[in-house]
Amino acid sequence: MRKMQYTITNCSQENEKLKLELQCLRKDLEHQQKELQNTDAEKVWKRVKLSDESGKVKSSIGMMQGEAQVSKDMKVDDLRTQDSDELTNNQESDPEFLIPLILKERRSNHELQEARKELITGFKDFFSSRSLIGVKRLGELNDKPFQDACRQRFPNEEPDVKSAELCSLWQCHITNSEWYPFRVTTIEGKAQDTLNESDEKLQALKSEWGEEIYKAVATSLMELNEHNPSGRYIVPELWNFKEGRIATLKEAIQYLFKQIRSLKAAKRRNPRHLGM
């Protein structure tokens, strides 16, 4: 009986001992798990931190590379601009580059002048001075003031003949390059030729024949001095009679096409009368 009790007691003690050891093992296991968790968390944190720092480093490197590329591109652009400027300057001072440009410009100007001459010829044949665009003979005297003056002064002595003689005389004076009734004046900082109203010949003309003939001669002189100063002879030119100036090629061509369209419209309306 005692032996049995002893055995039971020993078993009970052993159980308590095992329980204590088990509790210790559990505590130890929990402690290790906590340490492991802490270690894992720390590793994860380190990884995250390392990844973040790595990203920052990569970003910084990227920014530095970008700035370096921008700086490089700017330098390349500067070099290109400098090379372009140097090339332009060299080309502008290089006769081999300039001569073709000059020749091309001359050809273009020549073609424009030839086109203008053809238009002048055509307008002389088809349009009068009553047209909006026509041909004006620059430097040619307006004979009407001469006719009016001679008809008033010589009503019974062939005034038309006398006016023609007087007009022809002053046309010769105007085209005489040895007569220079001009003076140089500065207008808005630019030197320009103006009519010398104190010229003796002009003063005598005005005194003898009046203001209208004087104005006609002055107008012809200024036209020749502006448009043909070297030759001083009459030159035909496309003229905008409405605005009192030389007409542009564009204006002349537009006016010509307008007249052609008008003729075609008139032809459609009255084909028999036009005979076209």
- What's the pLDDT at 1? 44
**Separation of alpha carbons 216 and 240, rounded Å:** 19
3-state secondary structure of 192: strand
Is there a contact between 139 and 234 (Cβ–Cβ < 8 Å)? yes
**Separation of alpha carbons 80 and 256, rounded Å:** 50
CA 240 to chain centre: 26
Q: What is the pLDDT of residues 158-172, one digit of tens each?
A: 999 999 999 999 999
**Separation of alpha carbons 251 and 116, rounded Å:** 12
- What's the pLDDT at 81? 59
Gyration radius from the chain CA atoms = 53
**Separation of alpha carbons 15 and 18, rounded Å:** 5
- What's the pLDDT at 157? 87
Is there a contact between 164 and 192 (Cβ–Cβ < 8 Å)? no
**Separation of alpha carbons 121 and 113, rounded Å:** 12
Torsion of CA 264, 266, 272, 276, to 10 degrees: -30
Weakly modelled stretches of the chain, pLDDT under 50 = 1-11, 15, 18, 22, 25, 29, 36, 40-41, 44-45, 48-62, 64-65, 67-68, 70, 72, 75-76, 79, 87, 275-276
Short-list 134, 130, 98, CA closest to 246: 134
- The pTM for the full model equals 0.58
- What's the pLDDT at 196? 94
**Separation of alpha carbons 119 and 254, rounded Å:** 12
At what angle are helices 2-92 and 95-126 packed, to 10 degrees? 60
Would you give the end-to-end CA distance of the chain in angstroms? Answer: 158
**Separation of alpha carbons 125 and 119, rounded Å:** 10
Q: Tell me how far CA of residue 6 lies from CA of 17, 166, 179, 207, in angstroms.
A: 16, 172, 163, 170
Is there a contact between 139 and 239 (Cβ–Cβ < 8 Å)? no
**Separation of alpha carbons 202 and 182, rounded Å:** 11
